[in-house]
Amino acid sequence: MSKLKFFIVSDSVGETAELVAKAAASQFRQDLDTVAMKRFSHIEEKSQLAEIAWLAEQQGAIVVYTLVRSEMRASLTQCCQEHNVQCIDLLGPIMQSIDHVLDERPIEEPGLVRQLDDDYFKKIEAIEFAVKYDDGRDPRGVLNADIVLVGISRTSKTPLSQYLAHQRFKVANVPLVPEVEPPAELYSIDPNKVFGLVISPEILNSIRKERLIALGLKDDASYAKIDRIEHEINHFNKVIKKIGCTVIDVSNRAVEETANVILSQKNTYEFEKIRKDLHR
C-alpha cells in the first residue's frame, strides 16, 4: 500500500489544515501510520512557497494550505500548477464567500484566531487549577473552587475534573477513605458547590479489578473486594449527609453525561440565587 503524503502549509501554526487533512485521509487510510504529514508553519515569503512546491513534486505529496493573504494563496497555487502538484486551499473559498456576503475586505493578518483573550486564559487557569487540586493534594483548593467533586476511588473524579475545567470551571476533587478524616474545608463551603459521586458496588468491583490487573497486580486485593467497597460507600454516605450536597450516581454515565447533570444543577442553583437576590 502506497504511503499518502501531505505538506501542510500555513502562515500560522497549521493545526487546522493538518486536522482537515487527517480527517480526509482517514477515509482512505484507517491506519494513519501509512499517512505522512509534514508541516510548514509561519510561511511568509513567496520564495518559500516555490521551494515547498518543488519538494512536494519530488515526494509526491499533496499540498494543503491555510494562508490568509490572497497574494500568497495565488502564488502557491501557481507554484503547485507549475510542478504538477495537487493543492487544496482551505481558507480562500470561505473568505471569498464571506467577502461576497458582507461586501467587506478581509484583514489578511495571520494568526488572529490564536490571539490570546480572556476566555483562553480562563480555560488555562481552570485546567491548571484542576491539576493542582486533583485527588485532594491540597484541601485549600476546595475553598476557591467553583465545583468540588467528592467520591471514593475510581468514581471518575479526575477525568470529570478535567472535562469541567475545559468548560472553564475551577474544580477540586477530594477522595474519601474511611481511614482518613475528610478535610475540614468540605464542611465550611456552600454545599451547592459540592457533588458526591457514587457508583454501584458491582460495577466498581469490576473497575477496580481491571485497574489492579493493569498495574500488574492480582485482582483479589482488598481494594477490589465487595465488602471493602461497601465499607467505603457507607463512609461516603455519612460524609455526604453531613455536607448536605447533591449526590450523582455515575454507575452507567459517561463523563460528559455526569458533567451535564452537574452544570444543570449548578445553573438551577444560580437562577434561584438570582431570584432571591431580586426579591430582597
Burial 149-186 (b: 16+ CB within 10 A, else e): bbbbbbbbbbebbbbbbeebbbbbbbbbeeeeebbebb
Residues, the chain: 280
Query: Residue 48 is placed in which grid cell?
Result: 518559500
Looking from the CA of 6 toward its CB, the CA atoms found within 13 Å total: 25
Strand residues in 189-266 grouped as ranges (E): 194-198, 246-249
Do the annotations mark residue 156 as ligand-binding?
yes
Helix (H, G, I), strand (E, B) or coil at 171: strand
Q: How many CB atoms lie within 10 A of CB 93?
A: 10
Q: How many CB atoms lie within 10 A of CB 233?
A: 20
Do the annotations mark residue 151 as ligand-binding?
yes
Report yes or no: 83 and 57 within 8 Å, Cβ to Cβ. yes
Do the annotations mark residue 39 as ligand-binding?
no
Query: Residue 64 is placed in which grid cell?
Result: 494543503
Do the annotations mark residue 153 as ligand-binding?
yes
> What letter represents residue 13's amino acid?
V
C-alpha dihedral (252, 253, 255, 258), degrees to nearest 10: -140
Do the annotations mark residue 114 as ligand-binding?
no
Binding residues for ADP: 151-158
Annotated binding site: 151-158
